Structures are given as C-alpha cells and as structure tokens.
Amino acid sequence: MRRRLYLDDGVGERRGVVTLDGRPERLLIERMDDIPAQQSGARVIARVRKLDRTLRTAFIDLGEGPDGALALTGEAASLAEGAWIEVSVNASARRGKGAMLGFVGRAEGPGRVMQAAPPLDAQLTRFAPGETPITGAAAREAADLAEETALAVEHPLPGGGRLFIEPTQALTAVDVDVGAASGNPRHAVVRANLEAIEAAARLLRLKGLGGLVAIDLAGKGHDGARFSAVAKAAFAPDGAGVSIGPISRFGVMEILLPRTSAPLAERFVDEQGRPTALAAAYRLMRAIERAATPGVIVRASAGHAVAAVAERLTPRLSDRIGARFAISADEALPERAFAILSP
C-alpha cells in the first residue's frame, strides 16, 4: 500500500489530501474563518458552564462557538460549575454536538487558546511520514476529487460491484451490491464483499464518519474469520478504538469506530444536503482562478448568499491573480449557486 500527500493552497482555504493506492483516503480542510478554540488538537483555557451528573458530562464554554463536552471521570469528576480548566480538543464539533474534550488540568481564567491546532502541513505528514506533499495543479485536482468522493453515496468497486454509504442519526449504513461483477457468482459475491470491506474503511476515513457502522454484506453463508481478518487490517489505521463484531445471521458486520473528527460533509452541505454558501464561495474562487488566464477578465455571477461570502474572499483573490475578475449578485440564480459568464 502506498500513501501520497497533496496540499492545495486556495483562496482562504487549504485542502490536504491523503491517497491510498491512488484513491482518496483523507481530506483535511483549513479555512480562514475557522475558530481556533474549536479545532482538533488545540488546547484551551475554558470555563465549566454546566454539569450534568446523570450523564457524567461537563459542558465547557470554549469562549467562541458551541460548548464542548468533557467526560466527568478521574480528576474531572470533582469539577464545579464556573471553574477554569485547561482542555484539549480531541474532536471538533459536529452538527448539533459540541467538540469532544480531554481534561488537561485546572487553570486560572480568563479563557484563551494555549496551543493552536497543528498546521495543515503537520497534520498531513502525520499520515505518511517522509512523504513530501505534492502541490500545484495536481493537488487541486486531487482535492476536488476527494471532495466529490466524500459527498457521494454510491461508490464503484474494482470488480464491478457497488458500495453505498449513508449516515443516519443512529449509525452509518453501508450496503454492498454485487452489481455487474463477472465470473463465478459465488466467487463474485466473496470478491465484492472483500473489496467492499477494504473500500468502506478508506471511505469512512475520508468522510470523517465514526461511531457504529453496519455493513450489509452481499449473499449469505459468509466466511466470518476471513472477513473479520480483512476488516481488522483495513480499519487498523483508525487506531486502537476500533471494535469489530461478528457477522450476524442476517449478513451484517458491525464495526465501532472512534470519532476523531466531525463528518466532512458538514463542511460542505447543510442539513438538507444543499451546498452551504461558504462552500460554494470557495468553489467560486477556484473556478475564477482556473478561468483567469493571462490577459483575460473573468466575469461571474452568484446567488446573493454566495456573493455575500465571496465579498470577504475577493481581496485575497486579488492578491493572487490581480483585479482581473468581477462578481455580481444575480436574483435569477439560486442563492447558493454561481456561474462563470466569461471567458
């Protein structure tokens, strides 16, 4: 297995990609408006806002953004409301839930970021020590592909089968479809399942999905020992917190994955699956950069929501390509859409 690294330096946004044997495995995003105290890897002086002894959880005011959650175990069990403590951000906030925190020790206020999250470059090289990130056009292409793959539900398998990954409130459902796989039907089912387990591990890391995962395998009468061994190897990069259950009599393999990040889709789409204005504005910046060849003035239009966000990004874009573009708000476009009008 070979991992390669890519680093795309965009307008107000940097995207880091890890590929595994040429396919996207992780996509890391760093944006200019990210809140430092909410980023995974940061250490923050914060205040205990509320204690819930029933849930054995403390809700921690990080100074900006949603409250984080801290388990009331060990020394943290004796905390009182209003106390100042130092915490580590173990996993960034996800939609509807605050960041997952670790207790470092007691502290004195007021709150502040004691240690920022590692820069994207450092985070990236952790996944492939010794590899130098590829930059430029190849990095942008790799990041665009990783983003597209992360948001997809259906994923092709090498042997002709298909994999469907759909997160729900309770768990992430993974369905294996033999599809157009050729050859002996029995062998085709086994091959599709083995490919699906390996692909699911990579794609779940890419999508930033953790918690309970249910893989509905194709066919029946599975070789549990063989499939479990493949799953153990495929999910090994997810760390010691992985737990792989036996295959049920209904052909479902259950896997419990540690939550180490927010689902990546939350960086791009809202609860209804629509692109956020912020994500669309970053795509607009990239589209203008691609179109801005020497001597060309690029004109673009955008829905009002995208145009409003893009206004904050245009000074940075001007620094990169000069004043060779114009963006206008268009009532006729959906508020989260944009279009390149020329060249």
- Reference 48, options 64, 17, 69; nearest CA is 69
For the chain, the C-alpha Rg in angstroms (whole number) is 23
Domain end position, chosen among 212, 234, 264: 264
Domain shared by 224 and 285, yes or no: no
Q: Is residue 183 pLDDT above 80, yes or no? A: no
What's the sign of the alpha-carbon dihedral 70, 169, 151, 199? positive
Domain shared by 160 and 250, yes or no: yes
Domain shared by 29 and 135, yes or no: yes
Looking at residue 17, what is its pLDDT?
A: 98
Share of the chain above pLDDT 70, in %: 99
Residue 141: partners with Cβ closer than 8 Å, 6 or more residues away: none
Looking at residue 342, what is its pLDDT?
A: 78
Domain shared by 13 and 136, yes or no: yes
Euclidean distance between CA atoms 193 and 177, whole angstroms? 9
- Reference 100, options 64, 62, 74, 49; nearest CA is 62
Looking at residue 189, what is its pLDDT?
A: 92
Looking at residue 109, what is its pLDDT?
A: 84
Residues written for the chain? 343
Euclidean distance between CA atoms 218 and 247, whole angstroms? 12
Looking at residue 238, what is its pLDDT?
A: 95
Average pLDDT over residues 167-178: 95
**224-234 and 185-207 helices, crossing angle to 10°:** 30
Looking at residue 181, what is its pLDDT?
A: 64
Of the pLDDT bands very low, low, confident and very high (cuts 50, 70, 90), residue 96 is confident
Average pLDDT over residues 120-141: 96
Domain end position, chosen among 94, 128, 144: 144
Share of the chain above pLDDT 90, in %: 88
Domain shared by 158 and 68, yes or no: no
Domain shared by 226 and 289, yes or no: no
Q: Which domain holds residue 324?
A: 269-342
CATH for 107: 2.40.50.140
Looking at residue 260, what is its pLDDT?
A: 85
Domain shared by 111 and 124, yes or no: no
Domain shared by 311 and 276, yes or no: yes
Looking at residue 343, what is its pLDDT?
A: 67
Domain shared by 199 and 328, yes or no: no
Euclidean distance between CA atoms 300 and 123, whole angstroms? 34
- Tell me which of 259 and 13 has the higher pLDDT: 13
Tell me the pLDDT tens digit for each residue of 230-268.
999 999 999 989 999 999 999 999 999 998 888 999 999
Q: Is residue 182 pLDDT above 70, yes or no? A: no
Domain shared by 172 and 233, yes or no: yes
- Reference 275, options 247, 233, 297, 303; nearest CA is 303
Domain shared by 111 and 128, yes or no: no
Number of domains in the chain: 4
- Reference 276, options 28, 33, 40; nearest CA is 33
Tell me the pLDDT tens digit for each residue of 271-280.
998 999 999 9
Domain shared by 224 and 305, yes or no: no
Q: Is residue 213 pLDDT above 70, yes or no? A: yes
Domain end position, chosen among 99, 115, 131: 115
Euclidean distance between CA atoms 103 and 83, whole angstroms? 13
pTM: 0.93
